[in-house]
């Protein structure tokens, strides 16, 4: 599976992933102490939905485009507000065109003392990130393999924060790299929060990953599962998932509000699934 960000920016998976990301960051902001967000596969930062790549798939129309048009209950609106406000901020005064990736979205939410480390291996995407954040003392951009960063960039000096792992799934073995990378980082920084994205396409590979996670012995692993439809007979992008390690204590209850509403917006049939599952006990 090739999941290069530019082709899929703003699709349903991005929406679910980024709503979850904003809820974790909003929780970190509850305490006065500074924190750091480490984004291991940061991409280029901001995506033009009128670009050739985005137009080729048009996935954003059934993602962020659909959510922006949805009538949401008040409690869902309140929880989704940090995410939706950040997206709208990049489209003020003109037709909807831009979608912020995780590093740009994160930067929008940081307080003055908080920091972002954005890591990207692709030279062109890393250059775009450096250009966007030039002169911004809150952001450090590093051209590096994100999997190596799982060992070299933790723990941060702030001792509080979040590691976002959002690989493009361009190579074989990404599910195993997720587990191996988590183990390596968790040994160095067991108190950090980790959010690791994965696509639900090869259902057997997803099941195998969950079993590998159980075998790590790492506690407090939550799996946030979002499936558009019943599993397809042939490999197809049926859903999206996020492994969250050391989730904020409020996150599960917030997702009980958010996930049913997002399922209502994006579901393709009655088999659509949106739930949290504890892979290892809290």
Residues that are catalytic: 166
Q: For every residue of the chain, which 3-state class applies, written as one string?
A: CCCCHHHHCCCHHHHHHHHHHHHHHHHHCCCCCCCEEEECCCCCCEEECCCHHHHHHCHHHHCHHHHHHCCCCHHHHHHHHHHHHHHHHCCCCCCCCEEECHHHHHHHHCCCCCEEEEECCCHHHHHHHHHHCCCCCCEEEECCCHHHHHHHCCCCCCCCEEEEECCCCCCCCHHHHHHHHHHHHHHHCCCCEEEEEEEECCHHHHHHHHHHHHHHCCCCEEEEEEECCCCCCCCCCCEEEEEEECCCCCHHHHHHHHHHHHHHHHCCCCCCEEEEEEEECC
């Amino acid at each position: 599976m090739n999941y290069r960000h530019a082709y899929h920016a703003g699709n349903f998976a991005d929406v679910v992933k980024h709503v979850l990301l904003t809820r974790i960051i909003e929780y970190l902001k509850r305490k006065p102490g500074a924190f750091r967000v480490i984004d291991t596969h940061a991409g280029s930062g901001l995506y033009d939905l009128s670009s050739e790549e985005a137009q080729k798939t048009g996935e954003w129309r059934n993602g962020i485009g659909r959510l922006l048009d949805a009538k949401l209950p008040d409690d869902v609106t309140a929880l989704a507000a940090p995410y939706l406000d950040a997206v709208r901020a990049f489209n003020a005064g003109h037709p909807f065109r831009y979608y912020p990736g995780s590093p740009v979205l994160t930067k929008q939410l940081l307080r003055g003392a908080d920091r972002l480390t954005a890591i990207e291996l692709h030279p062109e995407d890393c250059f775009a990130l450096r250009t966007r954040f030039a002169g911004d003392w809150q952001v450090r951009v590093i051209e590096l393999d994100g999997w190596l960063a799982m060992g070299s960039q933790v723990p941060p000096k702030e001792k509080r924060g979040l590691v976002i792992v959002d690989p493009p799934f361009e190579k074989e073995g990404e599910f195993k790299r997720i587990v191996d990378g988590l183990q390596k980082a968790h040994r160095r920084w067991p108190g950090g929060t980790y959010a690791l994205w994965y696509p639900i396409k090869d259902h057997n590979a997803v099941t195998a990953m969950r079993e590998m996670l159980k075998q790590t012995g790492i506690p407090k692993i939550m799996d946030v599962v979002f499936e558009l439809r019943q599993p397809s007979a042939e490999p197809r992008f049926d859903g999206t998932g996020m492994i969250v390690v050391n989730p904020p204590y409020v996150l599960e209850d917030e997702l009980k509000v958010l996930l049913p509403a997002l399922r209502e917006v994006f579901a393709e049939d009655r088999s659509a699934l949106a739930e949290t599952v504890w892979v290892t006990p809290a």
